[in-house]
A and B are shown apart, each in its own frame.
Chain A
Amino acid sequence: MTDRGKWHERLKVTLWTLIVPPAIWAGHFLMAYLWAAISCAKVGAFATFPTLFVVGTIIALTLIALSGWIAWKQTHRPGDSAPHQDSTDIDRLRFLAKSTLLLAGLSFVGVIFTALPVVFLRNCL
């Protein structure tokens, strides 16, 4: 398969795709609060095993990992050697890809740190 044929390389990282991992993290954060608020209001306690929340967390982690993987692949585009600091398309791509990768790592940890208290704590007070 040629480079042209690889879908993850055709899907170029941009400023818009850069914000995908933190946006998913934010969405998951909101979901955690909504899920806890609705569970407490309707049931009076967290569900014994919060299936819906765990599924939502797995989806969020998968999406963040996927955008991280795409960014990882794009940081490794063959080309000139480092440093990549010129105002060229390929250096811009590498910069955005690297930033996306780092943000994906941060968002991945952020989602786990948000999810753990929900899974471990059971009371609504």
Chain B
Amino acid sequence: MRNPWLWALLVAGLTACNAEQSTLHVFGAEARAVRQMALVLTIGAVLIVAIMVALYVRAVRAPEGRLSHDGGMRMVLWLGAIGPTLILTALLIYALPAMRPRATAPGDLTIRVEGEQFWWRVAYDPASDLSPLSSANEVRIPVGRTVIFELTARDVIHSFWIPGLAGKMDMIPGRTNRLVVQAEKAGRYRGVCAEFCGLSHALMAFDVVAMDGADFDAWMARSRAASTGVTASRGARLFDAHGCGGCHAIRGTPHDADIGPDLSRFGERPTLGAGILPPTPANVAAFIRFPQDAKPGARMPAYPQISVADARAIADYLKGLK
């Protein structure tokens, strides 16, 4: 423990072990291309620095009279102007093709994601004739298929970023941006809002589940049906009585409001409050009573009048929805 800075650096290096939300742990073709480019650029930059240091050392150590002024000026011209221009031109030509969006076909899956303070409204296949499938704070995508994200926002500018899948794309109110991606590896990942959007910007994340094609199709078919777990339990009655359905929808019940997040498959979600808390019944109950404690600036009002026991009953009901 002689050098605390060295230890701090080593501990900081542990963040590289994170595989859920990292541009280095890629699971999509677009992110793979970006990582490849970053690698080439980093190696190139290190080489250039090494060459410059070597030249600098040579210039400093050269005996007086060995280096000519004309030679120095030629070096400035070639290494300072012409060389960098040629390198930058080559890099531009190398990098530009990666900016071409992936080609799409009419049958490709479209997922519409809208950013709101501070959560994500997700709709699968929004133009489909089948009943629309909506969700919140979780995006599921099939591996090996092209997926078109239609991105927009309802209040302020957000930015949709799944680091392991593709580059980020802004979500701008009144405008729809398209991000075309293809996942290569199944797994659970994480996306975040990459544009400061208010008090809880840093608490606005979402879960990403990349599934094999057949699993995804089965999930889609299952999810279009009514939620399982809709019961006449005490929690369900309290959900009705406290007017939760005024903002939240649950498929298979009369509640179809679209103000807050859709709760139809709440029990399937790996996190609570847009990627910030483990969805334990205790956390859910606390979130229902005091959402601002977990998420400052959230639009959902606090419900201190709901007793802890009642909030827990509602949480149990929600956890059963799949």
The residue from B92, B93, B97, B177 contacting A125, defined by CB atoms under 8 A apart: B177
- Residue B42 at the chain A interface, CB threshold 8 Å: no
Q: How far is the CB of A25 from chain B (nearest CB, A)?
A: 15
Task: Give every chain A residue within 8 A of B81 (Cβ-Cβ).
Answer: 105
Task: Give every chain B residue within 8 A of A112 (Cβ-Cβ).
Answer: 89
Q: How many residues of A contact B (CB 8 A)?
A: 11
Task: Give every chain A residue within 8 A of B93 (Cβ-Cβ).
Answer: 116, 120
Q: How many residues of B contact A (CB 8 A)?
A: 12
Task: Give every chain A residue within 8 A of B101 (Cβ-Cβ).
Answer: 123, 125
A-B contact count (CB 8 A): 26
Q: How far is the CB of A38 from chain B (nearest CB, A)?
A: 21
Task: Give every chain B residue within 8 A of A8 (Cβ-Cβ).
Answer: none
B177 touches A117 (CB 8 A): no
Task: Give every chain A residue within 8 A of B97 (Cβ-Cβ).
Answer: 120
Whether A120 touches B89, Cβ cut-off 8 Å, given contacts A125-B177, A125-B178, is no
Which chain A residues in 39-59 approach chain B with CB under 8 Å?
none
A123 touches B85 (CB 8 A): no
B89 touches A113 (CB 8 A): yes
How distant is the Cα of A123 from the Cα of B81 in the complex, in angstroms? 33
- Residue B96 at the chain A interface, CB threshold 8 Å: yes
How distant is the Cα of A113 from the Cα of B89 in the complex, in angstroms? 7
A121 touches B178 (CB 8 A): no
Q: How far is the CB of A99 from chain B (nearest CB, A)?
A: 15
Task: Give every chain B residue within 8 A of A120 (Cβ-Cβ).
Answer: 93, 96-97, 99-100
A117 touches B89 (CB 8 A): no
Task: Give 6 nearest A-B pairs by CB, closest first.
Answer: A120-B96, A109-B85, A116-B92, A123-B101, A125-B178, A117-B96
A-B CB contact pairs (8 Å), 19 listed: A105-B81, A109-B85, A113-B89, A116-B92, A116-B96, A117-B99, A120-B93, A120-B96, A120-B97, A120-B99, A120-B100, A121-B96, A121-B99, A121-B100, A122-B100, A123-B100, A125-B101, A125-B177, A125-B178
Taking beta carbons and an 8 Å cutoff, which residues of B are in contact with A? 81, 85, 89, 92-93, 96-97, 99-101, 177-178
Taking beta carbons and an 8 Å cutoff, which residues of A are in contact with B? 105, 109, 112-113, 116-117, 120-123, 125
